[in-house]
């Protein structure tokens, strides 16, 4: 204050010389107010400058100082409460989004992805069964298409207009009927016994694998990014609130110490109440956030990460099954550059992906009920690979019928569809478990924050009133 | 100085040619030795006589005459390849499963075995019946062979022979042996009946043409576009993995015409009554049965089967599978009278 007055005291105010006599500590609360004047500019005396002068004048007397201290304390406590309420309601909203918006949306996007891949698999299974596909495979295909359309509609509602997700959804909405048209043409030609049906199915598959699934994956990744953004804003430390809380408590201690030195009275009830309220808010803030943070992080590491890996595995198994079917549909019509069958070579790639994802899922599974289905799926996958090998050998030896039975035949043939179904069923069990883990941890994380914003605001009002009353009590001694 | 260098260079050149000539002569000698009583004096007298033998064998091969390279027929079954097949009890044939009316599997077939059927399949059965004999249902195993795997499958012994709309060409003769031709075809244009396209001509201007990736059809179109035999405004950028995929693109309106073997174009037309073959074939090609290059006894034996098949069998199979789309008169499809090497 002493040196700021030198700079800003261009107008000769009577406060300037006297200000030198003011004990330094009395001036401490003033800086926030004093930082304004330079902007006001010296040429004209404003109402603000007059207010500053008045403040300066009042700071020369003890009641004046007390008034300033009281106002500052009340302001600090209220500011602390307000910042706490604001920062924590931000985090609480983010945690709520994780639980009720971004994670369900990410799961919905994953479901669109799954439905599309599953539709493609069901279409090829039905096709392999000949002109008369089974009701089961037709129902499954139709349901998948419906699921995908519903999922896209849901995702469209949740996406921001003009965003990358919205564009991707629009593209998928355009591709879905195109795909369905190709599958219907494939069916019609297959019913007539024309190999052209197989060519249509390969074209439909190409559209799915090269245009639709990558977009569905992009949508899924976008939603996952949104989810992890929500996580980030929920777990980031509320440094402003914590800092302000420490400053408030420090100032309250200083005010009480000053009070003690001036009056020899140990306790000022108002100030003690304000300190107690501030301490409770600060503790609640730190502990509540720490608990929420650890629960949310756990829900991410144990839930979301596992769910993502399991989703990857599920998609890989669906793609593998589709390619296994198409190997028999295409019958060598398409080959890779090295001369292998295109679809069999894709199948091998998908199975490798499945095996990697399953190993990863088993690795990060944190309890036996999460691990069991994953282990079972790994076992199913191994049997699948063996049976697939038998089917390929039969097909390569010219025994198409045996190969067909090995892939879509009845249970006596020990077909690969059994293994595929088991893989999917086990993965779904694991997914359900991890989804549950996520929900439990995320909701207890969110619950740890519930009431904090309102509580902080109420306690801050209480604390501020305490400070004002406490100072007011001292002030009344001067009347 | 410069004259000396020129002489040296030309000597060097002749030296290279001479060495190559000797190498060719030796190869030719070994290649021809078992086939005929190779006059050994050819090797002794040097380049001239032997290199003519070489030309006749491969380098001077003209695609138009490639079908004349097969060996004379013989019903002798003592050769080691034929004997091995007879001992095994069945013939392994590489076929197509996707060529309607040629080699394909009817998904609605009532029979449990979902048998393959078509013109190629009939011929394969005939060959198996005559060489192996026995139960016609058990003397043959079919293997689905993709187009680009036909030659490797023969070379590494996965199949005894390939009967799969395979054109006899000089390039292929370097890797495999062919039987005498069993079918005559040529590249042809396929387009919707209502289209203004009327053949391989100016009516293809500004039209999008579909071909199979790496097919002879595409090579021909590309070369013709370069030389001006095909209108430059024709768009030949659409290529697909399999010729049948062209019909998909045609039906979806993504292309205006398809160019492929007339025989396969006919198989496409058989699956869609709204498209038709347009104009005449603009090349002449012959389908042959491909076998391992050193399996001479088998080639001769198959040629003997074909001799008989041309007289009885060919016509019935044509009538059954191909007459509906290629026309009742088989004259333009009938193979030429063989001209053996």
Which of A243, A237, A234 is CA-nearest to residue A79?
A243
**Are B97 and A332 in contact (CB < 8 Å)?**
yes
Question: Which of A124, A194, A341, A406 would you mutate first to test chain B, the one with the most B CBs within 10 A?
Answer: A194
Give the per-residue pLDDT at B259: 94
**Length, in residues, of chain A:** 479
- Give the pLDDT confidence of A376-416 residue by residue, as tens digits: 999 999 999 999 999 999 887 777 888 888 998 888 889 99
User: Which band of pLDDT confidence, cut at 50, 70 and 90, is reported for residue A286?
Assistant: very high
Look up the CATH architecture of domain B187-278: 3-Layer(aba) Sandwich (3.40)
Give the per-residue pLDDT at A390: 94
**Are B107 and A190 in contact (CB < 8 Å)?**
yes
Name every residue whose Cβ is closer than 8 Å to that of residue A243 and which is 6 or more positions away in sequence. Answer: none
- The Cα of A309 is separated from the nearest Cα of chain B by a number of Å equal to 34
Q: In angstroms, how far is CA B192 from the centroid of its own chain?
A: 27
In 10 A of CB B10, how many CB atoms? 10
Domains B69-182+285-326 and B187-278 share a fold: yes
The answer to whether residue A6 sits within a structural domain is no
Is a pLDDT exceeding 80 seen at residue A350?
Answer: yes
Distance CA A119, CA A130 (A): 17
Q: Let me know: does A255 contact A271? Beta carbons within 8 Å.
A: yes
The answer to whether residue A205 sits within a structural domain is yes
User: Which band of pLDDT confidence, cut at 50, 70 and 90, is reported for residue A36?
Assistant: very low
User: Which band of pLDDT confidence, cut at 50, 70 and 90, is reported for residue A293?
Assistant: very high
Give the per-residue pLDDT at A34: 43
Contact residues on chain A for B146, CB-CB shorter than 8 A: 332-335, 339, 341
Minimum-distance CB partner of A199 among B96, B114, B247: B247
- The Cα of B7 is separated from the nearest Cα of chain A by a number of Å equal to 48
Give the per-residue pLDDT at A115: 95
Distance CA A203, CA A209 (A): 10
Place of tokens 């076998």: B291
**Nearest-by-CA chain B residue for A330:** B98
- Give the pLDDT confidence of A13-28 residue by residue, as tens digits: 443 444 444 444 444 4
**Nearest-by-CA chain B residue for A186:** B248
- The Cα of A416 is separated from the nearest Cα of chain B by a number of Å equal to 20
Is a pLDDT exceeding 70 seen at residue A12?
Answer: no
Rg, C-alpha atoms of chain B: 23
- Give the pLDDT confidence of A183-226 residue by residue, as tens digits: 999 999 988 889 899 899 999 999 999 999 999 999 999 999 99
Question: Would you report the helix, strand and coil content of chain B in percent, each value rounded to 5?
Answer: 45, 15, 40
The answer to whether residue A71 sits within a structural domain is no
Name every residue whose Cβ is closer than 8 Å to that of residue B294 and which is 6 or more positions away in sequence. Answer: B177
A155 is in which domain, residue-wise?
79-123+133-226+234-467
Strands (E) in chain B, as ranges, are 91-95, 98-99, 103-105, 116-117, 140-144, 161-162, 176-178, 183-185, 187-192, 208-212, 235-240, 257-261, 275-278, 285-287, 290-292
Question: Which of A333, A339, A392, A403 would you mutate first to test chain B, the one with the most B CBs within 10 A?
Answer: A333
The answer to whether residue A31 sits within a structural domain is no
Question: Which of B156, B248, B324 would you mutate first to test chain A, the one with the most A CBs within 10 A?
Answer: B248
**Are A332 and B145 in contact (CB < 8 Å)?**
yes
Interface A-B: count of C-beta contacts within 8 A: 94
Distance CA B47, CA B20 (A): 9
The answer to whether residue A345 sits within a structural domain is yes
Strand B208-212 and strand B187-192: the pairing is unpaired
Give the per-residue pLDDT at B41: 40
Q: Which residues of A touch B (CB under 8 A)?
A: 130-132, 185, 189-200, 202-203, 330-335, 339, 341-342, 395-401, 404
Is a pLDDT exceeding 50 seen at residue A10?
Answer: no
Give the per-residue pLDDT at B85: 93
Question: What SS3 class is residue B216?
Answer: helix
Q: Let me know: does A445 contact A451? Beta carbons within 8 Å.
A: no
SS (H, E, C) A232-267: HHHHCCCHHHHHHHHHHHHHHHHHHHHHHHHHCCCC
Q: Tell me phi and psi for residue A283, to 5 degrees.
A: -65, -45
**Nearest-by-CA chain B residue for A189:** B271
Domain boundary assignment for chain B = 2-53, 69-182+285-326, 187-278
Distance CA A263, CA A261 (A): 6
**Are B245 and A191 in contact (CB < 8 Å)?**
no
Distance CA B142, CA B92 (A): 6
pTM given for the model: 0.76
- The Cα of A369 is separated from the nearest Cα of chain B by a number of Å equal to 44
User: Which band of pLDDT confidence, cut at 50, 70 and 90, is reported for residue A31?
Assistant: very low
**Secondary structure letter of residue B193 according to DSSP:** T
User: Which band of pLDDT confidence, cut at 50, 70 and 90, is reported for residue A169?
Assistant: very high
The answer to whether residue A360 sits within a structural domain is yes
**Nearest-by-CA chain B residue for A192:** B108
Contact residues on chain B for A198, CB-CB shorter than 8 A: 98, 244
b/e map of A324-336 (b: 16 or more CB within 10 Å)?
bbbbbbbbbbbbe
**Are B104 and A195 in contact (CB < 8 Å)?**
yes
The CATH class given to the B69-182+285-326 domain equals alpha beta
Strand B187-192 and strand B183-185: the pairing is unpaired
**Are A333 and B272 in contact (CB < 8 Å)?**
no
Is a pLDDT exceeding 50 seen at residue A32?
Answer: no
Name every residue whose Cβ is closer than 8 Å to that of residue B214 and which is 6 or more positions away in sequence. Answer: B148, B239
**Are B107 and A193 in contact (CB < 8 Å)?**
yes
Distance CA B175, CA B66 (A): 13
**Are A195 and B100 in contact (CB < 8 Å)?**
yes
Contact residues on chain A for B104, CB-CB shorter than 8 A: 195
Alpha-carbon distances of B55 from A259, A382, A384, B28, B67, rounded to whole Å: 119, 56, 55, 10, 16
Q: Let me know: does B250 contact B192? Beta carbons within 8 Å.
A: yes
Is a pLDDT exceeding 80 seen at residue A448?
Answer: yes
Minimum-distance CB partner of B100 among A194, A203, A334: A194
The C-alpha angle B26, B27, B32, rounded to 5 degrees, equals 100
Q: In angstroms, how far is CA B220 from the centroid of its own chain?
A: 16
Minimum-distance CB partner of B107 among A131, A199, A339: A131
Report the percentage of chain A scoring pLDDT > 90. Answer: 58
**Secondary structure letter of residue A195 according to DSSP:** T
**Is the sign of the CA dihedral B203, B204, B208, B213 positive or negative?**
positive
Contact residues on chain B for A196, CB-CB shorter than 8 A: 100, 244, 247-248, 268, 271-272
* pLDDT, averaged across chain A: 86
Minimum-distance CB partner of B248 among A191, A192, A200: A200
**Nearest-by-CA chain A residue for B145:** A332
**Are A185 and B251 in contact (CB < 8 Å)?**
yes
Minimum-distance CB partner of B144 among A185, A199, A332: A332
**Are B248 and A199 in contact (CB < 8 Å)?**
yes
Report the percentage of chain A scoring pLDDT > 70. Answer: 90
| pLDDT by 10s per residue, chain B, length 341 | 445 555 555 555 455 555 555 555 555 555 444 444 434 443 333 334 333 333 344 457 888 888 888 999 998 888 899 999 999 999 999 988 888 999 888 777 666 555 788 999 999 999 999 999 888 888 888 888 877 788 988 998 889 999 999 999 898 999 999 999 999 999 999 999 999 999 999 999 999 999 988 788 898 999 999 998 899 999 999 998 888 999 999 999 999 999 999 889 989 999 999 999 999 899 999 999 999 999 999 999 999 999 999 999 999 999 999 998 888 889 889 999 988 88
* Count of domains observed in chain A: 1
**Are A199 and B245 in contact (CB < 8 Å)?**
yes
Contact residues on chain B for A400, CB-CB shorter than 8 A: 97, 105, 114, 144
Give the per-residue pLDDT at A476: 87
Q: In angstroms, how far is CA A242 from the centroid of its own chain?
A: 24
């Amino acid at each position: 204050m002493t040196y700021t007055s030198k700079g800003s005291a261009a107008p000769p105010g009577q406060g300037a010389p006297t200000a030198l006599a003011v004990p330094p500590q009395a001036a401490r609360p003033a800086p926030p107010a004093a930082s304004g004047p330079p902007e006001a500019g010296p040429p004209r005396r404003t109402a603000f400058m007059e207010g500053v002068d008045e403040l300066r004048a009042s700071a020369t007397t003890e009641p004046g100082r007390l008034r300033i201290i009281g106002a500052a304390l009340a302001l600090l406590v209220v500011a602390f409460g307000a910042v706490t309420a604001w920062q924590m309601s931000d985090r609480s909203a983010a945690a709520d989004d994780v639980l009720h918006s971004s994670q369900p949306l990410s799961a919905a996007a994953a479901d669109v992805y799954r439905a599309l891949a599953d539709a493609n698999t069901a279409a090829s299974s039905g096709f392999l069964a000949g002109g008369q596909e089974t009701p089961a495979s037709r129902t499954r295909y139709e349901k998948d298409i419906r699921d995908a359309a519903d999922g896209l509609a849901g995702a469209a509602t949740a996406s921001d207009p003009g965003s990358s997700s919205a564009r991707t959804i629009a593209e998928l909405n355009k591709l879905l009927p195109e795909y369905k048209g190709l599958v219907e043409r494939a069916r019609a030609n297959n019913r007539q016994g024309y190999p052209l049906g197989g060519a249509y199915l390969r074209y439909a598959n190409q559209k799915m694998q090269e245009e639709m699934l990558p977009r569905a994956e992009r949508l899924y990744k976008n939603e996952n990014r949104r989810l992890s953004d929500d996580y980030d804003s929920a777990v980031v430390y509320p440094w402003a609130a914590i800092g302000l809380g420490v400053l408030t408590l420090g100032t309250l201690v200083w005010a009480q110490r000053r009070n003690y030195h001036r009056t020899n009275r140990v306790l000022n009830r108002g100030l003690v109440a304000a300190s107690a309220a501030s301490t409770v808010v600060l503790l609640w803030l730190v502990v509540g956030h720490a608990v929420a943070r650890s629960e949310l992080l756990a829900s991410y590491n144990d839930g979301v990460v596992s769910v993502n890996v399991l989703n990857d595995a599920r998609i890989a198994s669906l793609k593998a099954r589709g390619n296994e079917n198409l190997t028999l549909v295409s019958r060598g019509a398409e080959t890779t550059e090295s001369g292998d069958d295109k679809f069999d070579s894709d199948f091998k790639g998908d199975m490798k992906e499945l095996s990697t994802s399953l190993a990863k899922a088993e690795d990060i599974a944190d309890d036996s009920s999460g691990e069991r289905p994953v282990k079972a799926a790994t076992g199913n996958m191994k049997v699948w690979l063996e049976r697939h090998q038998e089917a390929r050998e039969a097909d390569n030896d010219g025994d198409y019928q045996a190969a067909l039975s090995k892939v879509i035949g009845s249970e006596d043939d020990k077909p690969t569809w059994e293994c595929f179904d088991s893989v999917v069923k086990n993965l779904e069990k694991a997914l359900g478990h991890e989804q549950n883990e996520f929900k439990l941890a995320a909701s207890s994380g969110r619950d740890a924050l519930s009431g904090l914003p309102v509580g902080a605001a109420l306690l801050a009002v209480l604390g501020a009133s305490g400070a004002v009353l406490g100072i007011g009590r001292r002030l009344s001694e001067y009347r | 100085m410069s004259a000396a260098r020129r002489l040296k260079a030309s000597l060097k050149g002749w030296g290279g040619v001479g060495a190559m000539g000797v190498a060719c002569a030796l190869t030719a000698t070994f290649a021809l030795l078992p086939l005929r009583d190779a006059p050994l004096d050819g090797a002794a007298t040097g380049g001239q006589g032997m290199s003519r033998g070489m030309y006749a064998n491969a380098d001077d091969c003209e695609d138009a005459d490639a079908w004349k390279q097969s060996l004379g027929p013989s019903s002798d079954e003592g050769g080691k390849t034929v004997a091995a097949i007879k001992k095994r009890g069945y013939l392994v044939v590489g076929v197509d499963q996707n060529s309607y009316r040629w080699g394909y599997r009817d998904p609605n077939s009532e029979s449990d075995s979902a048998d393959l059927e078509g013109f190629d399949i009939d011929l394969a059965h005939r060959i198996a019946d005559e060489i192996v004999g026995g139960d016609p249902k058990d003397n043959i195993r079919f293997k689905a062979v993709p187009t680009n795997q036909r030659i490797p499958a023969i070379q590494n012994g996965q199949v005894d022979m390939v009967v799969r709309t395979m054109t006899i060409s000089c390039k292929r003769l370097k890797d495999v042996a062919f039987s005498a031709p069993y079918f005559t075809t040529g590249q042809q244009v396929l387009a919707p009946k209502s289209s203004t396209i009327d053949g391989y001509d100016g009516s293809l201007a500004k039209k999008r043409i579909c071909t199979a990736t790496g097919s002879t059809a595409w090579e021909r179109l590309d070369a013709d576009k370069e030389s001006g035999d095909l209108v430059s405004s024709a768009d030949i950028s659409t290529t697909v993995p399999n010729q049948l995929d062209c019909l998909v693109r045609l039906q979806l309106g993504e292309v205006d015409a398809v160019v492929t073997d007339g025989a396969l174009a006919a198989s496409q037309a058989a699956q869609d009554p709204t498209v038709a073959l347009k104009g005449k074939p603009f090349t002449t090609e012959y389908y042959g049965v491909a076998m391992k290059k050193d399996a001479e006894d088998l080639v001769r034996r198959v040629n003997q089967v074909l001799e008989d098949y041309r007289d009885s069998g060919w016509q019935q199979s044509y009538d059954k599978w191909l007459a509906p789309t290629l026309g009742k008169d088989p004259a333009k499809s009938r193979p030429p009278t063989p001209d053996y090497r």
